[in-house]
Each structure stands twice: as C-alpha cells, then as structure tokens.
Amino acid sequence: MGTLGTINKLALNKSFKNKIKKTYLWSIFLKQFDSRHKTVNVLGFQIKYCSYGNFVTLFKDIFVKAEYYFITQKPTPLIIDCGSNIGMSVLFFKIMYPDSEIIAFEPNEAAFSCLETNIGINKLQSVSLHKKALSKKEGRIDFYFDQSNPGSLAMSTFQERMPKQKQTVEAVCLSKFIDRQVDFLKMDVEGAEFGIIEELSKGNKLKYIKQMAIEYHHHIIKDEDRLSTTLKLLEDEGFGYQLEGHLGRPFNENKYQDIMIYAYRKNNSIVPVP
C-alpha cells in the first residue's frame, strides 16, 4: 500500500502537468526497460507489453498527459474501462484510487493476455476483466487487427480504422454491466463509441454515470458526421461536456480526427438504481 499511497498523492496533483513530475516519471520508465522479456517497470509496477512503441504511446497519453484524470470524493469509485488494451489505464486508475472497483473490457487476444498478466503480477484487487468487445448488440462481430503489430492501438470493429486481418469476437452490451452508480466511464473503442452510447441511452443507463472520458473517432468513415448526434445524446441525459482536439494545417475535408469528450453530469445527481 506504500507505493500506491505515495503515487496517489502525486497523481492527484494537477494531473501530472508539473514539468518536474513528468520528467521524474519518464526517468523511472526509461531506466527500467527490458526488451528481452517485453516488460517495463513503471513507478514500482511491472508491466508486460505487446509492442514497445504502443507502450510508449500509452505511457505518454495516460501517465504524462493524464488523459483519464478525474476527481471524485468517493474513496471506492466504480470505474468502467472500455478498451483497456494492456491495462495502463487500469494501473493509472488504481494509482489514483487504490480502493476503486474497475470493470475492464478488451477483445484482442494479445492485448488481453498482457492485461491479465499485469493485473495478476501487480496483485491489483477489485478488477474484473472481460475479453469482449462492446457494441450496440450482442453476438459475434468482426474485429480488425494487425498481426504485425500485436496490441495495436488502432484495432477496431471498423475495417476503415484497421484495414488488416479480421477475426470474430464476442460482443456484449455495456448496459448489462451497469446496475449502480458509475463514477467514471472511460471509452477508447476506435469507432464503436457512438453505438455504445446510443445503446446506453436506449437502455436508460446513461443516467447512472457521473463522469466520462470518451475518445471520439471522427471520420473513421469519410462523409459520416455524427458528432452532433453523439453530443445530443449526452445533452438529453443531462451532461455538460468539454472537447479537446487537434487539426493540422492545411485544412482537409473528411480528415480523420481524434476528439476527446470529457462529459460531466450538470446537476451532480444520479438516479438511484431500482
């Protein structure tokens, strides 16, 4: 508990934006790299990865940029992690809130294997893992991945996002996993986010969620514009939101773009689950 307690104080200090703390995190990470066993030591935790390049990206986004940083006064928050990959986000949440309960979803075999290992070797408690994709309907669905890049961060149920190899995976509806207040919902599902949010809305489950960080993948399918529809679903359920995105120059029409949606319940109230 010593390491978690120490890091928890660091994690809660302005989202790691202090330059000295960022440098400290990077120095620990770089010194502990072991390419032979595909492992790295992060803040005292042993992490197994599929690809070193993907790991570096995850480390930057999740630990240095603190993309999933959130504040709650609840000591045991319930967190749902959609698209966990190797589990860096799970580790980040456990560093912030050691007594949190986490439900994690990852459909890819290689990434899930690392995820399962990382939860086990670091003895993280109250984490339930599901090797399943999330979708607006249940059953077997196509899932696109890259055999040459295990655990790729662009794996998707959309061929347009990952025009490589295809396999079928089991898909489930997220609404079936929500039976009480969800303090934070993280979603990075490479294009499936609209269908998941729509399914939650139809299932009357969005009202049980307090905060969300949704990576919205704009223009995975060119000419398809559904961002306003997604935001309208959130607005109708009482959420406010902030958007973060980057668009290079020169401006090009129909260009793919990652947009972060940070959603929060305006009235800070949750409807109790019957």
CATH number at residue 87: 3.40.50.150
Q: Contact, 213 vs 262, CB < 8 A?
A: yes
Q: Does some domain include residue 35? A: no
Structural domain harbouring 129: 68-265
The verdict on residue 137 lying in a domain is yes
Judge whether 14 lies within some domain: no
Give how far Cα 56 sits from Cα of 110, 149, 150, 191, 262, Å. 17, 14, 14, 22, 23
Q: Which residues, given as ranges, of the chain have pLDDT below 70?
A: 1-31, 268-274
Domain for residue 201, yes or no?
yes
Residue 114 resides in a domain: yes
Q: CB of 105 within 8 A of CB of 84?
A: yes
Would you say residue 47 lies in a domain?
Answer: no
pLDDT score of 27: 63
What pLDDT score was predicted for residue 23? Answer: 58
Residue 24: inside a domain, yes or no?
A: no
- Does a structural domain hold residue 30? no
pLDDT in the model for residue 10: 47
The number of domains in the chain is: 1
